[in-house]
Amino acid sequence: MPEAAVPGTELTAASSPAGSSGETPAPSATAASRTAAPTAAPSGTAAPTAAPSEAAAPTAEPAETAAPTVTPPETAAQTSPAPEDSASDTAAASGQSAEEESIRDSLEERTEAAISRAEEIEEERNKPTEEELRQQERDRLSAMSLEDLTSYLWEHEVPADLIYFMDEYPETREFVTDYLYQPDTPPSKSIAGEVKKGTIPHFLQWDERWGYETYGSTYLAVSGCGPTALSEVYSGLTGKTDMNPYAMAQWAEENGFYVYGSGTAWDIMTTGAYMLGLNGWMLDGGKDSLLWALRSGYPVVCAMNPGDFTFFGHFIVLTDVDENENIKLLDSNSRIRTQKLWKADDLMWQIAGMWAFSYDG
């Protein structure tokens, strides 16, 4: 029985010249592409050989379709960086981290500096002033007993003349204590706001404006009652402000009215007054002449013996008297005694000398 021909090969076999070996030539690629896929071979028929690579192509997806599943070179480079690129990125990240840390440190330092400065400003704002500190110390010392304060002043080398002065005149306690706290710049000695012509002003010889200045062999506070009394009379009668107690003390020394070992010479009240443009004369008629001068409007300076006003000697100014012979006076060593009215008889036994003053200007 003749061998059966493979379906779908007839046209190719017939149209192709027979080979010398009698084998059927392989179908061309064109014919194969037009040939439908073979069905199962009939019984007794050999299985077809593998289709040529060209024939198998229809079963593979076109290149365009497979492309999405293949990672392009560029994408692969991005997902799998080369070693040198990875090292560069690591270095860049490390540099960025260091820069961020430096910025954080800088911000922390600035914040700490701002907080510290704010605390300093607040501390400075709450810091007591020099005057407040001085007052706090003054309050502390004022609470001490006189004995304890005296010991404290000796320990802190306050001049002996001032300490003895405080013991004799307790009103000067604050002035003597303030010797320890004198300002670097001396206070103004102006008396402009205290002088009115026709009214005798009250000056303290231990006023801190001039009390620490020297007069003769000691402080003006200790021995300046004479210049202070004359300064009061001069300022009140003339209305001038050029001769405060310190200026008057300097003038007295320059013109020989200070006697070392004794104090201010009595003739400053006459000769000295005349040099200053005042009229000064001594009263020698006792109580009657004193009352006459006061009632006539003349201020009277009195040199006092030891008694209510002094332990050694002192000058005070009498300014007025009423119908009951109550006398107003100015004591340059005491505010307390100045505020009192004094009976003429209580003064007369203490008076060593009296001088009345007038001004013609």
Which pLDDT belongs to residue 46? 42
Which pLDDT belongs to residue 99? 82
Domain 192-358 has CATH 3.10.129.10: no
pLDDT digits (tens, 9 = 90+) for 12-71: 333 333 343 444 444 443 333 433 444 433 344 444 444 444 434 444 444 444 445 555
Please report which confidence band the pLDDT of residue 87 belongs to, taking 50, 70 and 90 as the band edges: low
Would the pLDDT of 352 be above 90?
Answer: yes
The secondary structure element, H or E, covering residue 76 is helix 73-79
The ranges assigned to domains in the chain are: 130-181, 192-358
Q: Cβ neighbours of residue 5 under 8 Å, at least 6 residues apart?
A: 13
Is residue 313 within 8 A of residue 305, CB to CB? The reply is yes
Which three-class secondary structure state does DSSP give residue 195?
A: coil
pLDDT digits (tens, 9 = 90+) for 102-160: 888 888 888 989 998 888 888 777 888 877 887 888 889 989 999 999 999 999 999 99
Is residue 268 within 8 A of residue 230, CB to CB? The reply is yes
> In the block, which residue shows the tokens 């059927």?
24
